[in-house]
Amino acid sequence: VNALAAAKQSLNDLWTVADVVRAQTADFCSKPTVLSTLPVFYANLDLQFIPTPHIMESVMSNATSPSHIDAALVSLMGVSQLAGLSAFQPFLENKHSSLCPDLWERTYWDCIPGFSKSERRAVRLTHCSLVSMLQEHPQVAEIADTAPGLHSIFSRAWVTLLLDSKVDEDTKIATTSYLIPNVAMNMHVLPHIFDEVLDGADGNLERLALAFLEQLSILTTNKSNDAHLESTQMFNISNVLGLLTVPAKAEQQWTSVLLKHGIVTRVVRALDCVFAVKRWQPVHKDISGKLMQYLLKLLLASRGYRWITESLQAGLLRGIISWPMREVSFTNFVVMFLGGEISHIAPGSTADGILPVALTSPSVIIEMRNALKDVQVLAADPRFKASRLFDSWQQMVDLAKTRAAVLDSWEAAGKPSFLACDNMSCGKIGGKNEFKQCSGCQSVHYCSGDCQKADWIDGHREDCDDLRLAAAHYPESLTPRERSFMRFLIHHDYLRLLPIISYQELHILRPRPNEEQVTIFNYTDRGGVVAHLSAAHEIDTDRRLAVELPIQLRRAARSGGRMRVHLMDFLHGGGDATYRLFSLRMADGEFHAALKSMAKIRPVSSDVYDQAKHDEICIRSLVAKAVRSTAIH
């Protein structure tokens, strides 16, 4: 009676039937009474009993009652009880090919005006729980992924529940357990599923991302001491990770939205959660492996330092030490962060390390310094000291301390910003406020109008438009603070490495005095900066540098030795290595004039060792004078 009344849009009877069906035991399935739900099911499958949206709107505007499809879904609970019985087979044979598409399509009508928010959510969850049970039958499951609408229904219920601030976390965890598999399953092999899941979030990537991050957050912050609940938690984490693998067409935008809303922090915390389980099992290794691979993918593929900084704030260093102690195979993952041998990939291969090469950013240096303080006790663990990671760890710690000292000097000096006049006949160097920039390209600066006119005649007339277009097409990717610190860092390392650089230049000038040379400061080595000279024509240039480098080389040629072209080779976050041009500007050209003169002098000895010692002494004397003169980058 209740079932038939529910079919006639009685809300009370709908819930009564639902309660009765949920209360049935396995024994009850064999009794004739369970078949009382079948008429409701069959009746509501017939289109003539399904009202149109227009009619439904009219009904809903006058009374709060469920659609026929809601009543039909209640009956599915009873039908699913028969899934293992022979009596269910004829039903599947006759109906399964059209059952799911018809049924799922009509559940789109569950948002018709007239339902309150709480009622709408309850109906959605009723839909999902019943369809989920029906899916347990293999013959129904076969068509689940190809029939349209299913994932959208589950996604809509899932997103709505997770983003409702009035629902507590325990309820979210309990309710989403059966929603997650149906939202994320098979997304990596069936691209259309992502479109349906996105449709369930009203087509809004931000909304879907927020739901995903909320789900991951509540699953990884609620740690249980109960073995069964812990197992369920890991199962749910494993399922929700399916949303990390989306079709290629959506991957870039999806990743960008996730990064914007803190995916790096969530992944690091999720790893902590998995590694905190009491009994380590193969499933935990699988889940943590997926999380680690995704974290590496994010940090290696995303430009900028923000994500590396975020990972340090989330506790990455703590994980780098502790995770491999729980699962030794994770050593191979951690090497990618610290740098070192990665022989499991190819014999003799090494990784530069994501973290050491990011220590050109002031924000990364600051977070690294803070994070190192937090893990001092953990890093002293004898097991970690005995691991093959420890040498790479210590090398990173030493580099971090060195860069932190440079950062302290930069800040103590007031984060200075100096410029040099770009009229190559003028040697003025001073504060930024003493110069005016070219209004056309906004790339060059002059101390006076006369200097600007002189440089216009000398060649800037031809270069101005090229510089302006290059700046427009390839906008600045570094922040002003990052650029300022990098100038200070490269100048610090230039003064420190000047004897080595000068010695290299001397030995190039002797055989090739007219070859244009560029000094490259390589910051992509995990051990610290390495400086070397390269012939200008051998440097691979692209994007903005392809325009800037030839222009700066021409300026250097007419500077009378007051300008030298230097390139900073660094990784902008985890992205590809890139060059940044920071030319050296000096008040006079005496240093390089003296170096050229040394190159012209005939060797004083035929003995290579004696000549090298002589060159070294001369260069040190020359460098001692140079470091006292005014120079900037």
324-360 residue pLDDT tens: 999 988 898 899 999 887 655 555 567 778 999 999 9
435 within some domain = no
> Does a structural domain hold residue 357?
no
Amino acid at 356: P
Say if 17 falls within a structural domain. no
* Longest alpha-carbon distance in the chain: 114
Q: Domain tally for the chain?
A: 1
For residues 374 and 318, give the distance between their C-alpha atoms in angstroms, rounded to a whole number. Answer: 8
For 581, the token pair is: 């041009």
Per the structure block, which two tokens stand in for 10?
């009685």
Q: What is the model's pLDDT at position 267?
A: 95
With tokens 């190809």, the residue in question is 146
**pLDDT in the model for residue 145:** 55
Domain range for 593 is 474-632
511 lies in some domain: yes
User: Is residue 591 one of the residues assigned to a domain?
Assistant: yes
pTM: 0.79
Q: How far apart are CA 514 and CA 556, in angstroms?
A: 13
Residue 392 lies in a domain: no
Q: At residue 475, what are phi and psi to the nearest 5 degrees? A: -65, 155
Residue 462 within any structural domain of the chain: no
Residues of the chain with pLDDT under 50: 3-4, 6-9, 11, 25-53, 55-56, 60, 64-115, 139
- pLDDT score for 302: 78
Which two tokens mark 219? 């699953």
Per-residue exposure over 526-562, b if at least 16 CB sit within 10 Å of its own CB, e if not: beebebeeeebeebeeeebbebbbebbbbbbeebbbb
Is 528 a member of any domain? Answer: yes
Q: What angle do CA 119, 123, 129 make, to 5 degrees?
A: 140
Q: Which residues pair with 429 in a beta bridge?
A: 420
Write down the pLDDT at residue 365: 97
